[in-house]
């Protein structure tokens, strides 16, 4: 039988994959995808823990909000990437080191 622990393990796996993508990928879009993975891991946790709130299904509701917010965030992120690309002619984060000292 599938328990809460299985959900949490899948969610942790998703989070780790997302984290890896964010830290290691050389393409800004893949980093965005990594972020999406991590958001989804969190949403999965929300849904999984949502079974203990049978009254108002707060977890489910919050997950829906989070999905909407994630979509909005991705839209903003893509827009930033587009601008960055126009400015630097590259979306490799290693090339964009203007924050350096």
Partner 1 sequence: MNGLMNISPITSSIIITLLPLLAFIIQALLGKRTQSGFISLIAIVISTILSAFFVFTKIWMNTPQMVDYNWFTIGHHTFTAGILLNNLTALMQLLVCIIALAVHVYSKSYMKGDPGIHRYWMYLSLFCFAMLGLCISKNLLIMYIFWELVGFASYLLIGFWFTKDSAVQANKKAFIVNRIGDLGFLLGLATLYSLYGSLDLTELFALDGLFYNLPNQPTGLLTFSGICFFIGAMAKSAQFPLHVWLPDAMEGPTAVSSLIHAATMVAAGVFLLSSIFPLFNASVLLIITIIGTMTALSAACFALSQRDIKKILAFSTISQLGFMVVAIGIGAWDAGMFHLITHAFFKCLLFLGAGAVIHEMSHLKEINQLDFDPQDINNMGNLRKWMPKTFILMAVASLALAGFPLTSGFLSKDAILIATLEWGIQHGSFYLLVPITLIIVSILTSFYISRLMFKVFFGEFKLTVKKFKLQEASAIMLWPMLFLGIGCLFLLFSWNPLSYQSASIFKGLIVSYQFSEIHALHMLLPVGLTIGSLIAGSVAWNWYIRNKYPLNPQGNKWIEFTFNQGYINEFYSVIFVNGTILFSKGLFWFDRTIIDGLVRFVGEVTKGLASLSSWFDRIIVDGLINKVGSTTYYIGHLLRWAQNGRLQNYLGFAFTLVLIGIIYLILQ
List residues binding partner 1 (CB under 8 A). 19, 22-24, 31, 93-94, 96-101
Name the minimum Å distance from CB 41 to partner 1: 14
**Identity of the residue, 89 or 100, whose beta carbon is nearer to partner 1 in the bound complex:** 100
Contacts of 26 (CB under 8 A, 6+ apart): 92, 93, 94
**Identity of the residue, 35 or 44, whose beta carbon is nearer to partner 1 in the bound complex:** 35
**Identity of the residue, 5 or 97, whose beta carbon is nearer to partner 1 in the bound complex:** 97
Tell me how far CA of residue 25 lies from CA of 20, 39, 66, 93, in angstroms: 8, 17, 24, 9
């Amino acid at each position: 039988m599938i328990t809460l622990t299985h959900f949490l393990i899948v969610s942790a796996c998703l989070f780790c994959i997302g984290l890896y993508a964010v830290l290691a990928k050389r393409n800004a879009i893949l980093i965005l995808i990594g972020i999406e993975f991590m958001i989804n891991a969190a949403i999965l946790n929300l849904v999984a823990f949502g079974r203990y709130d049978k009254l108002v299904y707060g977890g489910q509701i919050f997950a829906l909000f989070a999905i909407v917010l994630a979509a909005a965030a991705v839209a903003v992120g893509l827009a930033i990437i587009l601008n960055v690309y126009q400015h630097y002619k590259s979306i490799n984060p290693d090339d964009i080191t203007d924050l350096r000292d």
